[in-house]
Amino acid sequence: MSILNKFLKKSERSRPYCAALIAAAGRSSRMGCENKLLLPLDEKPVIVHTLLAIDRAERIDEIVIAARESDLLTYAELCKVYGITKPVKVIIGGSTREESVLRAALEANPDAELLAVQDGARPLVTPELIDRTVRAAEDCFAAAPAIPVRDTIKVAKDGVVRETPDRATLFAVQTPQVFDAGLLKAALQSALSAGVQLTDDCSAVERIGKEVYLTEGSEENIKITTPIDIFIAETILEHRGS
């Protein structure tokens, strides 16, 4: 495609092209099962709820799933069975979250200007929350949903409290975390080259000195980590349906 044609194609869109990258290659060790994303939640696998929400989001154009090799065919089949309409790629993830997300980023459409990284294990995310976060990233290049921390947090070492941070400054960050495509790729490559392990993608961007802006999250946008989270998620879904 010529540079002129690429420019014309971009100008025809009223918004930036955004690819959703789903991190789905984890080991589920704290859940005590082989793959928590395939556990039933309201009669559907956990990851299907995540996929359906992303599929319904107006500002997402395609989906790339970073999975374990053993789950590639399963995820592809689930996309067919549950009628995911957006283009989907299922690729082999890496041994760390950073590597998995970077692999997915590199497999996204080259025209993607924004990349929205979503935990496969956050099945209660809504299309509205996704779209709200993408819109924020369109303006500020890096945005993530978050909710204020309710509990008092202690910083401790060897079981002894060293510090009590001001709760007003603390937020629990969720996904999707949405970034300028070039910014995220550079940040992840930098972290991998330095051998730095991170717990989320905002940390990679923060590490290279870029600001991340927080948007309104949701208390319902929980992450499925331990068995009790399935029970909580079922309760939330029941409440939504009532």
pLDDT in tens, 175-215: 999 999 999 999 999 999 999 989 899 999 999 999 999 99
Q: Mean pLDDT across the chain, nearest whole number? A: 93
Joined together, the tokens standing for residue 99 give: 């590597």
Q: Give the model's confidence band at 1: pLDDT under 50 very low, under 70 low, under 90 confident, else very high.
A: very low
Give the whole-number percent of the chain exceeding pLDDT 90: 89
The average pLDDT across 78-87 equals 98
Tens digits of residue pLDDT in 99-142:
999 999 999 999 999 999 999 999 999 999 999 999 999 999 99
Cβ atoms 179, 142 nearer than 8 A: yes
Please state, in angstroms and rounded to a whole number, the distance separating the CA atoms of residues 181 and 169: 28
Q: What's the CA gap between 179 and 165, in Å, rounded?
A: 28
Q: Which helix (H) or strand (E) holds 128?
A: helix 127-140
